[in-house]
Amino acid sequence: MSVPDVTETLDTEQQQPRTYEVRTFGCQMNVHDSERVSGLLEDAGLTVGDPEDGVADVVVFNTCAVRENADNKLYGNLGMLAPLKRERPNMQIAVGGCLAQKDRDTILKKAPWVDVVFGTHNIGALPVLLERARHNNEAQLEILESLEVFPSTLPTKRDSAHSGWVSISVGCNNTCTFCIVPSLRGKERDRRPGDILAEIQALVDDGVVEITLLGQNVNSYGVEFGDRQAFSKLLRACGEIEGLERVRFTSPHPAAFTDDVIDAMAETPNVMPQLHMPLQSGSDKILKDMRRSYRSKKFLGILDKVRERIPHAAITTDIIVGFPGETEQDFQDTLDVVEASRFSSAFTFQYSKRPGTPAATMEGQLPKEVVQERYERLTALQDRISAEENQRQVGTQVEILVTENNGRKAEQTHRLSGRSRDQRLVHFSVPEGAEVPRPGDMVTTTITRAAAFHLVADPATLEDYQLRRTRAGDAWDRAQADSCGVPSSGSTASAGAPGKVSLGLPTLPIRK
Ligand code: SF4
């Protein structure tokens, strides 16, 4: 794939590089695809736009078809850009992702001011399509039915200096009746282990200390090249990579979750004690209707085995409430499995019809108020369990990977934030006189307080605060220096304001 020359991307009037912005809807797959879109556009000579300067010269929508109102959201956004596009004819708008793959030329019919529509299988073509649209003064629509280049071989602009996503497979061979992914992303395609490990090594060489292996169904990895234990072997191979401190993966499928994966998790020190395992429903009847080929007993059995081998594992899940035909007893079964599973947290969804999925035309669609009421009961139960499970962390020592995103609350409380080894969100303060960590550094301290969705650590003494400077922190320093920021080397917490980071000291970027 040839990438347009940088000079062609200059705005002819201002001779300034054109700016871009990527607006992402949807799942982690889309977030990672957006990193690739950014990488491709930067390779083509564009620079990321500053939101304060208004809408960028090139706006890319990376869409999601999973949510019921995804199309309304997209067309609403496109409608808002239409007058701007009339004022700035050189501006370009591109639409990619699952909704583009599904709706194709409908997008150009409904929003003829869009310049490029591209699918999930040809992200790499975006720069060429943008150039072609500009040169021919004509909208470009290109959707491929299957993957030609594995997306991970495309340039990527990563959001974080310390953590990276690594795709191991795309597509899915399952046929869950609520899910649009198989028809939009196609059959599972597995990346070769050597390519995956080479990408991880390159990330680690760049300063990354944490990677998350990504796939619709990670533990069926290997199905394409006939190795049923390929995923556990991959985890063990990650354990051999020097400098890689944390390995995570998302998401496994309970039906394909085998003991060799549990063994690899337990026996590979850098694989974190954390598991995200989608339950979806606790009712065996609903699981059958969802075409999820495990039953609640098997699901609970896997959790038992994981906890036997990794006693401190934090387990999270996804649950759909109000699937067509769900009775009060089916819902009660879900509550029972949730109670027994002791998830540390759960992503809970109200079922809504996704056009194009088998479940959308099933009988027994439930009224919104029934779904809402069950949803509230489920979240109340899970919030109680999350709070109880987090409470058990109080007094324990945790190692926190400091992140860049502190959140508004942490900003108000002058705490920094990070993730524990089991992926819990921790807000922590820096004791007076102690060195302030950079994003990517590791802090070890003791949890002093817990809430349902986060933990708090306010170390009372310097002894209870150990900072370990990492290569990821160094990489963050370098990135700051490159963008004229002030590196934080050697800074300490402000005198007279215990636990607070004061003016004059570097602060971590906070996204609102
Ligand atoms: S396993 Fe089911 S829910 Fe997950 S991507 Fe495949 S079809 Fe969709």
Lowest mean pLDDT among 51-55, 204-208, 301-305, 387-391: 51-55
Confidence band (pLDDT; 50, 70, 90) for 70?
Answer: confident
Instruction: Tell me the best of 66, 167, 174 to mutate to test the pocket of ligand 1, counting ligand atoms within 8 Å of each CB and taking the most.
Output: 174
Q: Which tokens belong to 345?
A: 């947290």
pTM, two decimal places: 0.76
> Residue 139 has what pLDDT?
87
Q: Which residues line ligand 1 (CB under 6 A)?
A: 172, 174, 176, 179, 181-182, 216-217, 253
The residue type found at 309 is R
The residue type found at 448 is T
| 463 has a pLDDT exceeding 80 | yes
Domains of the chain, start order: 6-142 (3.40.50.12160), 152-391 (3.80.30.20), 397-482 (2.40.50)
Q: How far apart are CA 366 and CA 94, in angstroms?
A: 36
Distance (angstroms) between ligand 1 centre and the Cα of 20 equals 32
| 161 has a pLDDT exceeding 90 | no
DSSP conformation letters of 76-131: HHHHHHHHHHHH-TT-EEEEEEHHHHHHTHHHHHH-TT--EEE-TT-GGGHHHHHH
> Residue 33 has what pLDDT?
86
- The residue whose CA is least distant from atom 5 of ligand 1 is 216
φ, ψ for residue 327, nearest 5 deg: -90, 170
Q: Which residue has the higher pLDDT, 408 or 341?
A: 341
| 7 has a pLDDT exceeding 80 | no
The mean per-residue pLDDT over the stretch 354-366 comes to: 90
38 in Cβ contact with 20 (< 8 Å): yes
Distance (angstroms) between ligand 1 centre and the Cα of 84 equals 38
Confidence band (pLDDT; 50, 70, 90) for 409?
Answer: low
pLDDT tens readout for residues 18-55: 999 999 887 777 888 898 899 999 988 899 998 888 89
In this structure, the number of other CB atoms found within 10 A of the CB of residue 241 comes to 16
Annotated binding site: 27, 64, 98, 172, 176, 179
265 in Cβ contact with 239 (< 8 Å): no
Q: How far apart are CA 362 and CA 471, in angstroms?
A: 53
| 361 has a pLDDT exceeding 70 | yes
User: How many CA within 13 A on the CB side of residue 233?
Assistant: 11
Confidence band (pLDDT; 50, 70, 90) for 13?
Answer: very low
Confidence band (pLDDT; 50, 70, 90) for 512?
Answer: very low
User: How many CA within 13 A on the CB side of residue 34?
Assistant: 22
Q: Which atom of ligand 1 is nearest to the CA of 185?
A: 5
> Residue 500 has what pLDDT?
30
In this structure, the number of other CB atoms found within 10 A of the CB of residue 275 comes to 28
Distance (angstroms) between ligand 1 centre and the Cα of 197 equals 25
Q: Which atom of ligand 1 is nearest to the CA of 175?
A: 7
Distance (angstroms) between ligand 1 centre and the Cα of 174 equals 6
- The residue whose CA is least distant from atom 4 of ligand 1 is 216
Residue of 159, 172, 203 whose CA lies nearest to 37: 159
Q: Is 228 exposed, middle or buried (0-12, 13-18, 19+ CB in 10 A)?
A: middle
Annotated binding site for [4Fe-4S] cluster: 27, 64, 98, 172, 176, 179
> Residue 364 has what pLDDT?
96
pLDDT tens readout for residues 92-145: 999 998 888 888 888 999 999 999 999 888 888 899 889 888 888 888 888 776
Residues in Cβ contact with 452 at an 8 Å cutoff, skipping those fewer than 6 apart: 383, 384, 386, 387, 390
Q: Is 8 exposed, middle or buried (0-12, 13-18, 19+ CB in 10 A)?
A: middle
> Residue 347 has what pLDDT?
93
DSSP bridge pairs for 83: none
3-state secondary structure of 170: strand
Alpha-carbon radius of gyration of the chain: 24
First to last CA, the chain: 37
The mean per-residue pLDDT over the stretch 227-236 comes to: 96
φ, ψ for residue 424, nearest 5 deg: -75, 145
Which among 97-101, 249-253, 377-381, 495-499 has the top mean pLDDT?
377-381
